[in-house]
Every structure is written in C-alpha cells, then in structure tokens.
Amino acid sequence: MKSKPRPPVFLERIDKLTRSIENAQTGDSLPTKVRPLTPAQAKKLEMGEWSFNWPRETTIESRQVYQLNATDNTTIVHGLISLEAKPDHVFMHLVESAVFNKGRQKAYLGVLGNLVAFACRQSFGLGFDGFVSFDSKTALKAHYADVLGAEPLGGLRMYVGTVAAYKLVNQYYPDFFPA
C-alpha cells in the first residue's frame, strides 16, 4: 500500500533572535546546546505537546532530528528540528517550539531562531556555504525575509543564503567563525 504524501511543513513566526534562548519574563539568557534526538528519546515525548509526529520523523533514514536543550538541564526539550542534507544545501523539513514556548505566555524566546541558526551552521559544516531551504506559509514570507534574511525560491519555498546564514550563525554561535 502506498503511503500518502505528507503536506509541506511550515515554520512558525520567529519571535526574536537572541544569543541563546531568553526567559520571556526576566530577559535572562539561558545557554543552550543542540543535540541529536534518538528514536528512544522521541518516543518519550508527550504526544499532545507536539504538533508533529517526532517519533516517526526519527525513523526517516535521510533525515536527522535535533533537540534544543538548556546546557544545565538536558531533560527539557525546548524545540525540535528535522534536517536533510541535499546535494548542495540543507533542507528543513520540520521545526517546532515546545508547547511552553508558544503563544503569548511562552516561557522562552529565541527557540526557532536558534534552531534555524543551527541548520545554517550544519550547512556551513557540510560545505554548502550556509544554504538552507524550507517551505513557508504565504502570510509569513515577508516575516522570514525580514527576520531571517530568507529569499523566495518560487511557490512557498524559501532559502537562507550565505550572507544571511553567516549573520544567523554568528548571532547564536559567535565562536563558529573565529576572528
């Protein structure tokens, strides 16, 4: 039996670019680390707290799923991202903030910016000059252009090019490009 094609997945609104993630109430910065999410870890995620089926995502061979954690508490997942290395760029299939980092009462700002910066960093590391592509909601295309420096590719597809990727990576990973 043929599986149904999955609809395109879209980024959420990027709330703020920070140095790591920032407590929405106090403004305190929380150092973070992005680490691979294993299938066993994905199975422990609370299904009602995530919009996407992350356990299934970890089983797709061509993709790597990563989790964003605070460095002092790696048991709390602040956000998730699914990336695929294409021949000349990195494609973001899914990216999501944890439920407690969404909406007006979110606990931390900068989660999605942090994860997109990580995708750009991966692209630089793979020799793709920071190029990352993704699908956008029509209503958010101008937002991604403004906040991420993303540019249209056609239809809903957008990309972050070298200059914009460098700025994002430098924002979250200032030691990645040594002076």
Mean pLDDT by 10 residues, the chain (179 residues): 49 62 90 95 90 95 97 94 98 94 90 94 97 88 88 94 95 81
* C-alpha span between 66 and 79 (Å, rounded): 8
Report if residue 5 sits inside a domain. Answer: no
Report if residue 89 sits inside a domain. Answer: yes
Helix (H) / strand (E) containing 40: helix 39-43
Report if residue 178 sits inside a domain. Answer: no
Residue 174: what pLDDT? Answer: 87
Report if residue 96 sits inside a domain. Answer: yes
- pTM of the model as a whole: 0.89
Report if residue 31 sits inside a domain. Answer: yes
Strands of the sheet containing 108-109, edge to edge, are: 29-30, 21-23, 108-109
Report if residue 105 sits inside a domain. Answer: yes
Report if residue 134 sits inside a domain. Answer: yes
Residue 100: what pLDDT? Answer: 94
Residue 36: what pLDDT? Answer: 98
Residue 18: what pLDDT? Answer: 65
Q: How many domains does the chain have?
A: 1
Q: Indicate which CATH number applies to the domain containing 74.
A: 3.40.630.30
Report if residue 3 sits inside a domain. Answer: no
Q: Which residues span the domain enclosing 93?
A: 21-172
